[in-house]
Structure 1
Amino acid sequence: MMKLTILGCYAATPRTLSNPTSQLLEIKNHTFLIDCAEGTQVQLRKQKIKFTKINHVFISHLHGDHFYGLIGLISTFMLFNRVNDLHVYGPKGIKEIILLQLRASGSFTGYSLCFHELETTQSQIIFEDEHVEVHTIPLKHRVYTNGFLFVEKNNERRLNLDAIQNHNIDKVYYNKIKYGGTITLDNGTVIPNRELTFDPPKGLRYAYCSDTMYEESIIPLIQEVDCLYHESTFLESEAHLLERTMHATAKQAATIASKAQVKQLVLGHYSTRYPSIELFKQEAQTVFEEVILADDGKIIEIN
């Protein structure tokens, strides 16, 4: 299971009852921060999330409503006497911006800031360990922008208990078998792993597509993901604003979800001109049924 916490999901500026974009994704013992707008620290405190769990921050693009909270978070880590490295993934320029702010304020960190600057317009793997991969999703916005695809690796094979019991294999070897090991019986017979296991279930996948125009080139990258977050700044009634702002409507987000055959769609990055975010869901569901409205503080379990 993945656990997605929406810290903020509205466009442009912070307000008393709504926050700009930031999310927290918990996956395979990782806690990933995705975008970091103003107010992110306050939202983390409201959700009782331990700051020390955050070791990786992914910034989609250098518009303020997606990263102006980062320097504050970095400074708070310093006050908390953080020692763990902090990895920041974002567009080229993010390192210069953060280091300039630190120098100008006479500040420094007692921990290592590791910047991974991005500039390619092709999808690439930017993080990988034995449990998780993170790929970029090139988006189309007014500045260089990436979404992120989080892929859960499932290394454990499923035990074929009937076959295991037929060979009288002791339970002490089950973990070895799960991870692909072969078994040698007392009589010297070698039992290949494929005879003792089934293929593992496919790992979960979450796609985060922040500010972007309607862009069908991303469909192969997000095909059949378990959950897609796609910006929906406007309703179709404001479609005349799309070319200038390079944003998308709820209906367009739903069209991408439908064409990519995703399991569920999460809408967000709402313009605050509308009286209710329920209007976004109503519009999207004319195209795609499985729609969830992001809202500040909402927790979404991805199964």
Structure 2
Amino acid sequence: MAFLLKILGSNSATPAYGRHQSSHLLNLENYHMLIDCGEGTQMQLLKFKARVSRINYIFISHLHGDHIYGLIGLINTMNLNGRTEDLHIFGPYQLSEIVTVQMRATNANLRFKIHFNVVDSQESYTLLDTSCFTVQSIPLDHGIACSGYLFKEKPKPRRINKEKLNREISVADILELKEGRNLYDAEGRLRYSNEELTLPARKSRSYAYCSDTRYNERILSIIEGVDLLYHEATFMHDQAEKARERYHSTTIDAATIAAKANVGHLIIGHYSSRYKDLQPLLKEAQSVFPNTSLAVEGEDHNIED
């Protein structure tokens, strides 16, 4: 099943050099989730042929404009396109007021219901629990309430070894085997051995989105071992003092977090507009954590199972 991340926006504060403000789109088991919604997000969705109508959930990290100024326009487009399905939005407690006031003032008359889910930025806890994955909050250090998000597949069932499968076996027996059980007859004799007829379950995959934050080792236990980590790297390391003052991270900060958390792959983004050429940022991060990529708008990151 799909576990596909698309970068929609990669810049900080203002658009620059063709780069847009923060936004990611995650397709997980055919759930479509938007993570942050900076100005221009819906234009990026159109550009990359991502259907707005398929978005089930929106996760907002914090209320700085470069992460939310695209939200009202996106909601309005959903309404104009005839959406009737409920929309679930997660974010800081003021977010519902921001959206509600603008919808009321513009007489939007939404045809669908918005469910606002307040995220406590001081805690890490489960926000969403579906049949196949969970979403957990990640407390970040950004001066205002700010949360990252951990998307994690639930453990998968064992796989049937079709080469050894008896044609007479029932669907009910197959389901029992996939749950890891041996099957016995009424007298207690072994009918089917789980070890012989199944293969190990496929790996459960994970993605952590760590938006604006200073270097923060408190998140290490939460993101430990994730397959893919997005971590902001607004500045290069020669601007480390400025990064701390503005509650941001450097390339070295992001790479150090990735290394200490033993993640599979790191994506850096949220670039300062002072940088036109991003290769020096990539090189600097790779000096600490070699398996690092730049957030490039339109690129997909497919997490294999």
Q: Same fold (TM over 0.5)?
A: yes
Deviation, structure 1 residue 297: 1.2
How far apart in 1 are the matches of 2:192 and 2:138?
39
Conserved 8 A contact 2:119-2:137:
no
Is this contact kept in 2: 1:159–1:177, CA < 8 A? yes
TM-aligned CA distance change 1:192 to 1:108, over 3 Å: farther
| 3-state SS, counterpart of residue 259 of structure 2 | helix
Query: Residue 142 of structure 1 corresponds to which residue in structure 2?
Result: 143
Alignment match, 2:174: 174
Question: Which stretch has the larger CA shift, 45-54 or 194-203?
Answer: 194-203
Answer yes or no: is the 8 Å Cα contact 1:180–1:193 preserved in 2.
Answer: no
Moved more, 226-235 or 10-19: 10-19
Which of structure 1's runs of 4+ aligned residues deviate more than 4 A? 160-165, 179-196
Task: Give the aligned residue type for 1:221.
Answer: I
Give how far 1:90 is off: 0.3
Shift of 1:154: 3.6
Q: Return the letter of the residue paired with 1:202.
A: K
After TM superposition, list the pairs within 5 Å mapping 1:152-171 onto structure 2.
152-160=153-161, 164-165=165-166, 169-170=168-169
Residue of structure 1 in register with 2:77 after alignment: 76
What are the superposed Cα offsets for residues 100-124 of structure 1, whole Å, 9 maximum, x if unpaired?
A: 1111112221111000011251101
Distance 2:194 2:72 in 1: 50
Q: Is the 8 A contact 1:7 1:22 kept in 2?
A: yes
User: Any residues of structure 2 matched to 1:106-125 within 5 Å, and which?
Assistant: 106-125=107-126
Correspondence for 1:227: 228
Q: Using the TM superposition, give the Cα deviation of residue 192 of structure 1 relative to its aligned residue in structure 2, in angstroms.
A: 7.4
Q: Secondary structure at the match of 2:103?
A: helix
CA distance in 1 between partners of 2:189 and 2:110 (Å)? 58
Aligned to 2:218: 217
> Is 264-273 or 99-108 further displaced after alignment?
99-108
Give CA deviations for 1:188-221 in whole Å, capped at 9, x if unaligned. 8565775554552331010100000000010111
CA distance in 1, matches of 2:114, 2:216: 33
Distance 1:181-1:84 versus aligned 2 partners, 3 A rule: farther
Distance change >3 Å, CA 114–CA 191, structure 1 → 2: farther
* SS of residue matched to 2:230: strand
Q: Which residue pairs with 1:289 in the alignment?
A: 290
Deviation digits for residues 19-76 of structure 1 (CA, Å, limit 9, x no counterpart): 0000001111111100001100000001111111101000000111001111111111
Distance in 1 of aligned mates of 2:278 and 2:248: 17
CA RMSD of aligned residues (A): 2.2
Give the superposition deviation at 1:142.
1.8
Aligned to 1:29: 30
The letter for the 2-side match of 1:174 is I
More displaced 10-residue stretch of structure 1: 89-98 or 190-199: 190-199
Secondary structure in 1 matching 2:36: strand
Q: Check conservation: 1:155, 1:179, Cα contact below 8 A.
A: no
Question: How far, CA to CA, are the matches of 2:90 and 2:59 in structure 1?
Answer: 5
What's the counterpart of residue 208 of structure 1?
209
- How far the C-alpha of 1:186 sits from its partner, in A, is 8.9
- Report the Cα offset of residue 16 of structure 1: 6.4
* Paired position in structure 2 for 1:263: 264
User: Residues 265 and 291 of structure 1 are in contact (CA less than 8 Å); yes or no, is this contact kept in structure 2?
Assistant: yes
Number of aligned residue pairs: 301
Percentage identity across aligned positions? 41
Q: Please, which moves more after superposition, 199-208 or 23-32?
A: 199-208
Higher mean C-alpha deviation, range 87-96 or range 293-302 = 293-302
Q: Structure 2: how far apart are the matches of 1:193 and 1:225?
A: 33
CA contact (8 A) 2:156 2:204 kept: no
* Superposition map of 1:125-136 within 5 A: 125-136=126-137
Alpha carbons 1:263, 1:290 under 8 Å: kept? yes
Tell me which amino acid in the other structure corresponds to 1:178.
K
8 Å contact from structure 2 (residues 234, 243) kept in 1 = no
Q: Does structure 2 retain, via aligned residues, the 8 Å contact 1:28–1:152?
A: no
Gaps of 5+ in 2: none
Question: Equivalent residue of 1:212, what SS?
Answer: coil
SS, match of residue 3 in structure 1? strand
